[in-house]
Amino acid sequence: METIERGPEPGMGLADRLEWFRCRLPPSCHLLAVSKGQPLDRLREAVHCGQRSFGESRLQEAISKQQALADLPPLDWHFIGRLQANKARAVLRKFGTIHSLDSLVLAQRLDRIAREEGLRPRVFLQVKLRPDPAKTGFSAEDLRSDWPALQALTGLDVVGLMTIAPLGLTSDQQVNLFETCRALASELGLPELSMGMSGDWPEAVQAGSTWVRLGSALF
Ligand SMILES: *Cc1c(COP(=O)(O)O)cnc(C)c1O
In a domain, 7, yes or no: no
Please tell me the predicted confidence (pLDDT) of residue 3: 52
- Decide: 63 and 82 in contact? Cβ < 8 Å: no
Q: Is 38 in the pocket of ligand 1 (CB under 6 A)?
A: no
> 70 falls in which pLDDT band (50, 70, 90)?
very high
In a domain, 169, yes or no: yes
Tell me the mean pLDDT in the region 126-133: 92
Check whether 1 has a pLDDT greater than 80. no
In a domain, 37, yes or no: yes
In a domain, 71, yes or no: yes
- Expressed in angstroms and rounded, the spacing between residue 34 Cα and the centre of ligand 1 is 6
Q: Is 34 in the pocket of ligand 1 (CB under 6 A)?
A: yes
* Pairing label, strands 122-127, 157-163: parallel
Please tell me the predicted confidence (pLDDT) of residue 4: 61
Q: Which residues span the domain enclosing 23?
A: 14-214
Give the residue, out of 80, 82, 128, with the most ligand 1 atoms within 8 A of its beta carbon, to mutate for a pocket test.
80
- Decide: 197 and 166 in contact? Cβ < 8 Å: no
pLDDT tens column, 152-163 = 999 999 999 999
Please tell me the predicted confidence (pLDDT) of residue 133: 86
**The domain spanning residue 39 has which CATH number?**
3.20.20.10
In a domain, 8, yes or no: no
- Expressed in angstroms and rounded, the spacing between residue 27 Cα and the centre of ligand 1 is 21
Name the domain count of the chain: 1
- Expressed in angstroms and rounded, the spacing between residue 140 Cα and the centre of ligand 1 is 22
Tell me the mean pLDDT in the region 88-112: 98
In a domain, 140, yes or no: yes
| Cβ neighbours, 10 Å, residue 143 | 22
In a domain, 2, yes or no: no
Q: How far apart are the first and last CA of the chain?
A: 24
In a domain, 9, yes or no: no
Q: Is 69 in the pocket of ligand 1 (CB under 6 A)?
A: no
CA distance 134 to 105: 20
Q: Is 165 in the pocket of ligand 1 (CB under 6 A)?
A: no
Please tell me the predicted confidence (pLDDT) of residue 119: 98
pLDDT tens column, 10-33 = 889 999 999 999 999 999 999 999
- The percent of residues above 70 in pLDDT, for the chain, comes to 98
> 36 falls in which pLDDT band (50, 70, 90)?
very high
